Amino acid sequence: MEAYPTSAAYTPCQKCPLRRLKTFREFEAEELAFIGHFKRGELSIGKGETVLTEGVDSVHLYTVLAGWAFRYKLLPDGRRQILNYAMPGDLIGLQGSLTGEMQHSVEALSPMVLCVFERERLLDLYRNHPGLAFDITWIASREEQILDENLLSVGRRSAVERTAYLLSFIGSRARSVGLNGEVPLLIPITQQHIADTLGLSLVHTNKTIRKLADRGLITWRGGGCQIRDLDGLLAAARWEGLSETVRPLV
Amino acid sequence: MEAYPTSAAYTPCQKCPLRRLKTFREFEAEELAFIGHFKRGELSIGKGETVLTEGVDSVHLYTVLAGWAFRYKLLPDGRRQILNYAMPGDLIGLQGSLTGEMQHSVEALSPMVLCVFERERLLDLYRNHPGLAFDITWIASREEQILDENLLSVGRRSAVERTAYLLSFIGSRARSVGLNGEVPLLIPITQQHIADTLGLSLVHTNKTIRKLADRGLITWRGGGCQIRDLDGLLAAARWEGLSETVRPLV
DNA sequence: CGCACTTTTGAGACACGTCAAAACGTGTGG
DNA sequence: CCACACGTTTTGACGTGTCTCAAAAGTGCG
């Protein structure tokens, strides 16, 4: 089991290890101070636990400090659609903070540590730090772009293309936040998660994954997936890959 | 042909007919003045014309004053995925204003009139009007919610459910912005648009639409679709319908 | 009045779904 | 340290929803 920070070891924003990554833009001291003030604490949760629940009016929003999660929606009869994944540096629960009650749920894929923010203070942020407010909008807009691409995938790509797209997408994102501890990185998801992300059945997902594995693009092993040939996956997905943009970390 | 405002008849924000709708929140005089200042002009374009193009770095963003449009992405081989529709009161091109170049294209479904804003001034808005800045984020977040639901549809609903969902969704939105000129409202799309929104083939879309029409839920006539039984559609979609929230109009 | 775009229909193919059961892994408790 | 139990992955057989191809019938516009 990988060692995750615990809530005992509180991480001050100024010393947040994520900020050292080159994907994240430099923040001014004043901005950092404000965010430090905005942060109410840390929350550790276990694999499989629920972070946010659809229909509930959440008072908090979170930034992932460590671990993986996924956002999803359910149909009344239980069919599940996974909308996106969250990993270190990602903001969770913004929708609820704006609109009121959550329109989706979030569940941990691994043990996680979350920075906790209070919805109430979001207004302060908008009033006193236009730059950060702009960042929040930027983040919402990025999520939208991701969803656009997902929709394109599920709507118009074949099963092989979809799967290649999803795995290369997640792999690229993970790489950008330095999740290279084990090389190659192990993505902690089951084939059922992939099926529910791509709108496929579990059985067909399994057969599709096998094709990719036979081509040497990935390896599936207990507890998740490893990417062996990112360029091969990108080609199989007909996708040009993630653009390298510097982004904000709130 | 319906009468659309022309660019000759410039609409001052204070007298914008859309603001009279109860869906939109009341704006303060000062906010209205700022938006009036933010607005650079109006643009009229014809049916089938392109508003924004993927890959291009647009200097403007727009609010729809009249007419319909759709957002879409293309795969290299031409497969198209429609992501969402835009109608009066909707903001277009925010993504490009934040991230840089557009990640999707927008095309008019009917003649349109657009309010034109300059990207540059968006920063002023964030600096001087936190309330409006919050509104912009709110709008981005709403778009995200719509995409979530679309993804759920395309990924997990059957062809009949998907189609019922899409039509009831568009119909509800249109109703909320008072598009009742012709009762019942004519939604100006082709079956190809529906197919490309739902990830279905044209032929199968046609057969699915026929089923809904045979059940008396909708009527298809030259130039678009009319909704005859919204509740019936909602039930067929297994969808609880659009929540009635007051929203901002920028 | 004719061209171009839509909608409709039919037939046949296949990608993907469902059902069912076996094989595999892994953490737990005895 | 073994053995059971549960979650996950794999396999096979078979059904079907949706796709593709192709062509006809409408519809609207210049």
Task: State the Cα–Cα distance between residues A167 and A230, nearest whole angstrom.
Answer: 9
Does the residue A56 lie in any domain? Answer: yes
Per-residue pLDDT of chain A (250 residues; tens, 9 = 90+): 444 444 456 889 999 999 999 999 999 999 999 999 999 999 999 999 999 999 999 999 999 999 999 999 999 999 999 999 999 999 999 999 998 899 999 999 999 999 999 999 999 999 999 999 999 999 999 999 999 999 999 999 999 999 999 999 999 999 999 887 666 889 999 999 999 999 999 999 999 999 999 999 999 987 899 999 999 999 999 999 998 899 999 9
Domain check: are A31 and A111 in the same one? yes
Last residue of a domain, one of B106, B125, B150: B150
Q: Which of B123, B150, B177 is the last residue of a domain?
A: B150
Kindly list the residues from chain B whose CB atom is less than 8 angstroms away from the CB atom of residue A235. Answer: none
DSSP string, A157-192: S-HHHHHHHHHHHHHHHHHHTT--SSSSPEE---HH
Same domain, B94 and B120: yes
Look at residue A193 and tell me if it is in a domain.
Answer: yes
Residues in chain A within 8 Å Cβ distance of B98: 134, 137-138, 141
Q: For residue range B14-29, list pLDDT tens digits in order.
A: 999 999 999 999 999 9
Q: Residue A93 carries which side chain, given as an amino acid letter?
A: G
Residues A123 and A208 in one domain: no
Residue A218 sits in a domain of what CATH number?
1.10.10.10
Smallest CA–C1' separation from A205, nucleotide: C16
Last residue of a domain, one of A132, A147, A162: A147
SS3 of chain A: helix, strand, coil, percent, to 5? 45, 20, 35
Number of structural domains chain B divides into: 2
- Tokens 């170049």 belong to B101
Which nucleotides of chain C have an atom under 7 angstroms from any protein CB? Answer: 5-11, 15-20, 25-26
Give mean pLDDT, residues B138-145: 97
A108 within a domain of the structure (yes/no):
yes
What is the structure's pLDDT at A8? 52
**Could you tell me which residues come within 8 angstroms of residue B152 by beta carbon, excluding any fewer than 6 positions away?**
A73, A75, A81, A83
pLDDT at residue number B1: 40
Are B101 and B165 within one domain?
Answer: no
Q: Are residues B131 and B201 in the same domain?
A: no
Report chain A's C-alpha Rg in angstroms.
18
For chain A, the farthest-separated pair of C-alpha atoms sits apart, in whole angstroms, at 55
What does the alpha-carbon distance between residue B66 and residue B112 come to, in Å, rounded to a whole number?
5
pLDDT at B36: 94
pLDDT of A2: 41
- The answer to whether residue A197 is domain-embedded is yes
Give the pLDDT mean for B61-87. Answer: 97
Beta pairing class for A224-227 and A186-187: antiparallel
Does B1 reside within a domain?
no
Q: Nearest by CB to A141, which of B79, B99, B138?
A: B99
Confirm or reject contact between A121 and chain B (CB < 8 A).
no
Are residues B124 and B207 both part of a single domain? no
Does residue B163 share a domain with residue B143? no
- A131 and A160 assigned to the same domain: no
pLDDT value of position A1: 40
Q: Cα separation of B28 and A203, whole Å?
A: 56
Q: Which residue has the tokens 């990935």?
A: A218
Would you list the DSSP string of B62-101? EEEEES-EEEEEE-TTS-EEEEEEE-TT-EE-HHHHHHSS
Interface of A with B in 85-104 (CB under 8 A): 94-95, 98-100, 103-104
Partner-chain contact B156 A99, CB within 8 Å = no
| B148 lies within 8 A of chain A by CB | yes
Residue B184, pLDDT score: 79
CA to C1' distance (Å), from B198 to C20? 32
Tell me: do A129 and A35 sit in the same domain: yes
Pick the more confident residue, B243 or A68: A68
Do B40 and B112 lie in one domain? The reply is yes
Nearest to B248 by CA among B7, B61, B37, B35: B35
The contacts of residue A116 (CB under 8 Å, 6+ apart) are A39, A40, A41, A42, A43, A60, A62
At residue A145, the 3 state secondary structure works out as: helix
Measure the CA–CA gap between A20 and A28, rounded to whole angstroms.
14
Residue A186 lies in a domain: yes
Q: Has residue B3 got a pLDDT over 70?
A: no
Q: Are residues A22 and A130 in the same domain?
A: yes
Instruction: Read off the pLDDT of residues A104-134 as tens digits, 9 standing for 90 and up.
Output: 999 999 999 999 999 999 999 999 999 999 9
Q: Is residue B250 part of a domain?
A: no
Query: Domain containing B19: what range?
Result: 13-150
Contact of A45 with B122, CB cutoff 8 Å = no
Residue B75 counted as domain residue: yes
- pLDDT (0 to 100) of residue B41: 93
Residues A34, A114, single domain; the answer is yes
What pLDDT does residue B5 have? Answer: 44
What are B194-211's pLDDT values in tens digits? 999 999 999 999 999 999
pLDDT of B180 strictly over 90: no
- CB contact under 8 Å between B134 and A123, yes or no, is yes
Q: Where residue B145 sits, what CATH number does that domain have?
A: 2.60.120.10
- Does residue A184 have a cis bond before it (omega within 30 degrees)? yes
